[in-house]
Amino acid sequence: MRPLAPLLGLLAAGLLGLLLLAGTVYTIDETEQVVITQFGKPIGAARTNAGLHFKLPFIHEVNRLEKRVLRWDGRPSEMPTKDKTYIVVDAFGRWRIRDPQQYFLRLRDERSAQSRLDDILGSEIRNAIARHELIELIRSTRDRVPALDSSLAGSTNDPATGRLYPIRKGRPLVEEEILTNAAPKVAVFGVELLDVQFKRVNYNPSVAQRIYERMISERQQIAERFRSEGAGEAAKIAGQKQKDLQTIESEAYRRVQEIRGAADARATEIYAAAYNRSPDTVAFYRFLRTLEAYKTVLTNETTLILTTEGDFFRLLKHPAAP
């Protein structure tokens, strides 16, 4: 038994040494930062360098904190905009521990930090939503050129139909405004807020159908105005076409009559020149014209009461006369 006593003593001393060494040495990962506490109170500066470090065993306690960028994912919340439109906003943000000691004293762990971020960021997002129109929260730029000009701003009964409100900020500047207001409030907890962004903006389900119906009604009113303006332009074009057609037909008729009159005058001139060459041609012309008059006047439906001594019946009474 005596030879075993020194061996047991050495084993006990070795185990005690290992325990002291394990309580003295600790490692820090590259993604971690450590706050050393003594009886629950932080001592010294936070240790952020990765590698092997030492502490007093059984007295100092290692509290590991995240050094990477962390994500805050807010719960979708219903809130009103400046133009009294209720929307459901789902936002997220990124943050990191800037002052580990302050963070440890005020919050202790990530769960508490997320709870404080929910309160602060939720309040700032609600305030920002209430200060801006819905279009400011949807559009990503403020230098938007309206797709509809003033001439398409609805019907005369509803001048606001189809109107597009000017954008003074846009979504990125609203998000930046939230970040600017919330960052000092979370800094007191040793937290640095990196950014806040909207993940989704939806209409309230209870009013979404009414919003869609209003949008459809506005589009239909604008379409009806297009149709009425188109019908007016069509009537104007048809009237102008009819006017131009009548002008063209009138000018053509006048031109035809002029050509026909000139042709008749030329024909008469040719006949006169042909039949006035000698007394025989004149007598022949009178004979032909008299026959044409008989053919035109004396039909089955003609009744004439004339004296036979008249010149009209000269050829019928004396056909051999010259």
> How is the chain split into domains, by residue range?
14-66, 70-226, 279-322
Beta partners for residue 79, in sequence order: 87
Top pLDDT among 114 and 23 is at: 114
Second CATH level (architecture) for the domain 70-226: 2-Layer Sandwich (3.30)
The answer to whether the beta carbons of residues 137 and 178 sit under 8 Å apart is: no
Top pLDDT among 277 and 194 is at: 194
Confidence of residue 319 (pLDDT cuts 50, 70, 90): low
State pLDDT tens for residues 128-177: 999 988 888 888 765 555 455 444 444 444 444 445 567 778 889 999 99
Q: How many Å apart are CA 124 and CA 112, to the nearest integer?
A: 19
CA 311 to chain centre: 95
Place of tokens 């906003």: 89
